Amino acid sequence: MSALDMSAPTPVFFGPEDSRLYGVVRRGSARPALGVVVCPPPGDEYPASLRGLRLLEQRLADRGLATLRFDWFGTGDSAGAGDEQRLERWVADVGHAVAHARRALACDAVALVGVRLGGSVGALAAAELTLDLAAAAFWDPVVVGRDYLARKRGDQRAWRADEVIERPESKPFFGPNELLGYDLPPELDRAIGRLDLGAIHTAPAKRVLLVRHDGTPKEGGWWETVTRSGVDAQRVNVDERPPWQTDAGFDAAPVPTQTLATLVRWLAPEAP
């Protein structure tokens, strides 16, 4: 099999037999030195982020690494209905993805890349499970869940108001347990509202990268914990609008070139 064939996206199913998770694998070599588990943002931020994540995975495969990006339980092509989404279930999903990367991709080491709320779940999994990650990169993670929900609900109200003005007949179709067109069951809503990365008191990996687009927000003590833990920690502020802050659809979503370059250099520092 050629390198080109190996790096082509390959669909996989993994995890418990009664709740299989769907993922996409890219391989850069038959035995990659590093496997990267990509935790995407759930909900409305995923479609705009997907183009950049696919490009990231291809760039990493070009450098000989392997990647596994997956759909959270109750979303996408993974098992489970929308009203079955739970934060604790998603934490377990990360553990299943890391285990699958080690076993199926034959990786010497596993890293994690988490985006927005996906990064927050990855941080929780690293704290609660024995993942033994070689590296963990967080791309604008949600640190305080209630702040995230407050902003999203503001966007929901504005979107709903516009929809009702343009199409009054749409008003009865807005569901009580949705957020910007995606399921948000009450249990998940409450769990995200309680989310606070500042309550984590261990570093997620031996090497940690934090990429921020929004300057220097309050990290709730989480990043201070990471930097004081003695691991190799680096923070990079990127002057680049993230794709989820645009209204463009998937085909027109902007490519976050600076962020992708930062992640590739950090994950594959010795590659040409």
Identify the residue whose tokens are 């902007």. Answer: 254
What predicted TM-score, i.e. pTM, was given to this entire model? 0.92
Given a cut of 80, whether residue 271 has pLDDT beyond it is no
Q: How does pLDDT run across 71-102, given as a tens digit for each residue?
A: 999 999 999 999 999 999 999 999 999 999 99
Whether 108 has a pLDDT exceeding 90, the answer reads: no
**CA 65 to CA 57: how far, in whole Å?**
9
| Mean pLDDT (the chain, rounded) | 90
Q: What is the pLDDT at residue 217?
A: 61
Flag the least confident range among 31-40, 175-184, 208-217, 241-250: 241-250
> Rounded to an integer, what distance in angstroms lies between the CA atom of residue 73 and that of residue 77?
9
Of 40-49, 92-101, 245-254, least confident by mean pLDDT is 245-254
Domains of the chain: 3-143+200-267 (3.40.50.1820)
Write out pLDDT tens, residues 50-79.
999 999 999 999 999 999 999 999 999 999
Q: What is the mean pLDDT of residues 246-272?
A: 81
Strands 10-14 and 21-27, bridge-based pairing: antiparallel
Q: What is the DSSP string of 158-201?
A: HHHHHHHHH-GGGGGG--TTEETTEE--HHHHHHHHH-BGGG--
Q: What is the pLDDT of residue 250?
A: 59
Of all residues in the chain, the percent with pLDDT exceeding 70 is 92
Highest mean pLDDT among 157-171, 184-198, 210-224 belongs to 184-198
pLDDT per residue over 177-214, tens digit each?
Answer: 889 889 999 999 999 999 999 999 999 999 999 999 87
Residue with tokens 């409305």: 44
Q: Can you tell me the distance from the alpha carbon of 253 to that of 48, in angstroms, rounded to the nearest whole number?
A: 5
DSSP reduced 3-state for 60:
helix
Structure token pair of residue 31? 């035995």
